[in-house]
Amino acid sequence: MERSMDRGTNLAIENAKALGLSTVWDRYEAQLPQCGFGETGLCCRNCMQGPCRISPFEDGPQRGVCGADADVMVARGLMRAVAAGTASHGGHAKHMAHTLLMVAKGQTGDYRITDTEKLKAVAERIGVEVNGASIEDIARGVALKALEEFSEKDSPLIWAGTTITQGRIERFSKLGVIPTGIDSVVSESMHRSTYGVDADPVNLLLGTIKCALADYASCHLATDLADILFGTPSPVKTAANLGVLKTEAVNIALHGHNPLLSEMIVQAAGSDDLKIMAREAGASEGINLVGVCCTGNEVMMRHGIPMATSSVSQESILLTGALDAIVVDYQCIMPALSSIAECLHTEIITTMPIAKISGAMHIEFDEAHALEKAREIIKAGIEAFKKRDPSRVKIPDISSPAVVGFSAEAIINALSTINSEDPLKPLIDNIVEGNIYGVCLFAGCNTVKIPQDRNYIAMIKELAKRNVLILATGCASGAFARHGFMSPEAVDGYAGEGLKTILKAIGESAGLGGPLPLVLHMGSCVDNTRAADVAVAIANKLGTDIDRLPVVASAPEPVTEKALAIGTWAVAAGLPTHVGVVPPVTGSRTVTEVLTSSVKELLGGWFIVEPDPMKAVEALYQALTERRKALGLKL
Ligand code: BF8
């Protein structure tokens, strides 16, 4: 099977072969055929009487040792996956909240409140007194409220309750799925899915939705606090693909998720003494930072740091032989990086006590001395540069220009240049008229199970041609950026006439000197909530709910438990949500039926499971058409 649609990645794979190194694709092939029980969710290791497997054939065992049937087994497995995803986003959000509190208390001099307007807006939204209060007091109030979100309270999560429509709140209340604590719902999910607790698949699925709503709150919280600390993104020009590495520079990749680390490295890399140190080491172009995965998205949209690669192809950046250090925090970091680095000069630098990798250098990050730690990391990169073997350097000369950084605020700002009184009006009018047939949010990862980027490329070409406005986050952004879809130039090549006209009109009126890019980059995976904010604003303005809007979501190449959590809250938010890889649920007819069909009655959204990208486009387009018809919009 073809491994990637990306030339840069394929060249790096060839380098791996030449060096006798294996990559994610080789390891995947070594695993084939993968276990059919695991693939369908029919394997349980929740107790030591197992592992149990349920036979897909009638004459085999239909229950595990405890008596759990296929439905219970699959529903419990899904709940645990969503809980793991929620724990990850929750951990990220909590880390931000602790740091904001440190800033408010003056316990760290390296972070500061960058966006005071956003701080005040969030404070007002969540009920923290703003009038007459100092910035530090407001920050303290916001941080404390944020930290309260994690344990069990007697009221709904504020970051969910204050950011969604009234209609959603009513639906969720009716179903009893409103979460009252982020960590507590993760803990509840682990409890109810353990041996001998919840054995009703539908009840388990409702619990899974409750957990996913806590995931939504964590993501929103993480985004809000990142904007407060580091600034709300606005459009910035950058580039993507392996060609952003430089032969004559110390190349340091920022990989992982939380901008608390990557922002400090960006700041430290600007210091003159470190730049001089890099030059003295022989790097005439100084220090070159590049991004990988979601923290790459964070620094790309705030500083224009180029994106080298993402998720499934993360090894490729080492295989160029030109990467001197890769600094990581947590999530989506392949342990394999360390074995590749063993054969090259690259320093893998772990920074978090919960995320060490054998063989890697560990420089423990500490928010109280963040800049000092960041400088230490950069110095380690400079030292590694000295060991680089120039004969091994093979940087593919491939990169695409991109314009990124479309936060909800940036979109509203751009729209307000057309109508300052009522910024959403031009967007809504164009949706009504059909210039924009609908909106599709692309999110999620790249998977080894699909030639990298294949689904993204196929789907965007078709949807853009049909005038669907495309938003993207996470590794979906990486895919589009690599292939040039995040550039204004792509508009002429791929957008349908209606979409082209509106992207040009907004881009020019907003002073971008050309159209908006074909894909609006909204950030990292936690930033999926930025897209939700836009949908909520439109729904509220129209006095309707999200499940009636012509808005859909797609994760065409999903991988992680986090992606499952996000997909589940997208469905709960009312969005028809496509996944291009079959999740491990097909062993249960009940679970599959609920998620792909009957959940529609309850929440308005549903999962569209479709590995074929063109069929997925048809299904999403049909969902948009149904909603346009129901609203009486032009077809
Ligand atoms: O949180 S898209 S592979 S990097 S999980 Fe991971 Fe998937 Fe990429 Fe960001 Ni999101």
**Cβ atoms 580, 556 nearer than 8 A:** yes
Three-state DSSP at 21 gives: coil
Note the pLDDT of residue 56. 84
pLDDT tens for residues 465-511? Answer: 999 999 999 999 999 999 999 999 999 999 999 999 999 999 999 99
Do 506 and 585 lie in one domain? The reply is yes
* Strand (E) or helix (H) holding 105: none
Number of domains in the chain: 4
Residue 39 structural domain: 7-53
Ligand 1 centre from 402 Cα, in Å? Answer: 20
Name which residue sits closest to atom 4 of ligand 1, judged by CA.
293
Mean residue pLDDT across the chain:
97
Q: With beta carbons less than 8 A apart as the criterion, state whether 164 and 536 touch.
A: yes
Question: Is 80 exceeded by the pLDDT of residue 67?
Answer: yes
Minimal-distance CA residue to ligand 1 atom 6: 332
Residue nearest to atom 1 of ligand 1 (CA): 525
> Is residue 329 a part of any domain in this protein?
yes
Of 364, 331, 328, 366, nearest in space to 346 by CA:
328
What does the pLDDT look like over 243-254, one tens digit per residue?
999 999 999 999
Tell me the CA–centroid distance for residue 498 and ligand 1, in Å.
32
Same domain as 376, residue 295: yes
168-185 pLDDT tens trace: 999 999 999 999 999 999
Whether 262 and 305 map to the same domain: the answer is yes
Say which amino acid occupies 584.
P
Integer Cα distance of 549 and 575 in angstroms? 9
Instruction: Give the pLDDT of residue 172.
Output: 98
Residues 436 and 558 in one domain: yes
Digit-coded pLDDT (tens) for 515-556? 999 999 999 999 999 999 999 999 999 999 999 999 999 999
Residue 60 belongs to some domain of the structure: no
For residue 562, which atom of ligand 1 is closest to its CA?
Answer: 5
In a domain, 534, yes or no: yes
- DSSP for 431-497? HHHTSS-EEEEE-----TTS-BTHHHHHHHHHHHHTTEEEEEEHHHHHHHHHTTTTSTHHHHHH--H
pLDDT of res. 57: 85
- Cα(431) to ligand 1 centroid in Å equals 30
Distance from the CA of 559 to the center of ligand 1, in angstroms?
Answer: 8
Helices (H) and strands (E) in the chain, counts: 27, 16
Tell me: do 222 and 286 sit in the same domain: no
Between CA 339 and CA 64 the distance in angstroms is 38
The C-alpha atoms of residue 379 and residue 307 are separated, in whole angstroms, by 22
The residue count for the chain: 635
pLDDT of residue 329: 98
Query: Do 527 and 618 fall into the same domain?
Result: yes
Q: Do 617 and 475 share a structural domain? A: yes
Same domain, 267 and 178: no
* Dist CA 397 CA 233 (whole Å): 29
SS3 of residue 186 by DSSP: helix
pLDDT tens, position by position, 107-137? 999 999 999 999 999 999 999 999 999 999 9
Q: What pairs with residue 519 in β-bridges?
A: 470
Q: Which of 364, 392, 420 is the last residue of a domain?
A: 392
In a domain, 213, yes or no: yes
* Residue 75, domain CATH: 1.20.1270.30
- Asked whether residue 58 carries a pLDDT value surpassing 90, the answer given is no
Whether residue 189 sits in one domain with residue 79: yes
* Helix (H) or strand (E) segment spanning residue 274: helix 272-280
d(CA 448, CA 29): 10
Q: 28-47 pLDDT, tens per residue?
A: 999 999 999 999 999 999 99
User: Residue 413 maps to which CATH number?
Assistant: 3.40.50.2030
Mutate which of 453, 456, 475, 554 for ligand 1 pocket (most atoms within 8 A of beta carbon): 475
Residue partners of 520: CB distance under 8 A and separation at least 6: 406, 411, 469, 470, 471, 472
Place of tokens 């590794």: 475
Residues paired with residue 439 on neighbouring β-strands, in sequence order: 469, 551
Give CA angle at 302 (299, 308), nearest 5°: 35
Smallest CA separation from ligand 1 atom 9, residue: 294
Q: Which atom of ligand 1 is nearest to the CA of 88?
A: 1
Kindly state whether residues 254 and 291 are assigned to the same domain. yes
User: Residue 202 region, left (φ>0) first, then alpha (ψ -120 to 50), else beta?
Assistant: alpha
Q: Which helix (H) or strand (E) holds 126?
A: helix 116-126
pLDDT tens by residue, 313-330: 999 999 999 999 999 999
Which among 392, 413, 432 is the end of a domain? Answer: 392
Answer yes or no: is 58 within a domain.
Answer: no
% residues pLDDT > 70 (the chain): 100
CA distance 137 to 36: 55
Instruction: Identify whether 61 is part of a domain.
Output: no
**Phi, psi for residue 310 in degrees, rounded to 5:** -150, 165
Q: Tell whether 112 and 42 lie within a shared domain.
A: no
Q: How far apart are CA 625 and CA 635, in angstroms?
A: 7
Residues contacting ligand 1 via CB (< 6 Å): 257, 293-294, 310-311, 332, 444-445, 474-475, 524-525, 559-560, 562-563
Look up tokens 């295989």; give the residue. Answer: 319
Last residue of one domain, picked from the residues 230, 252, 270:
230
The answer to whether residue 2 is domain-embedded is no
pTM of the model: 0.98
Find, among 179, 194, 206, 191, the residue nearest to 90 by Cα: 179
Q: Please indicate, yes or no, whether residues 473 and 542 belong to a single structural domain of this protein.
A: yes
pLDDT at 1: 74
User: Would you say residue 350 has pLDDT above 90?
Assistant: yes
Is 20 among the domain residues?
yes
DSSP 289-352: EEEEHHHHHHHHHHH-PPEEE-GGGHHHHHHTS---EEEE-SSS--THHHHHHHTSSPEEEE-B
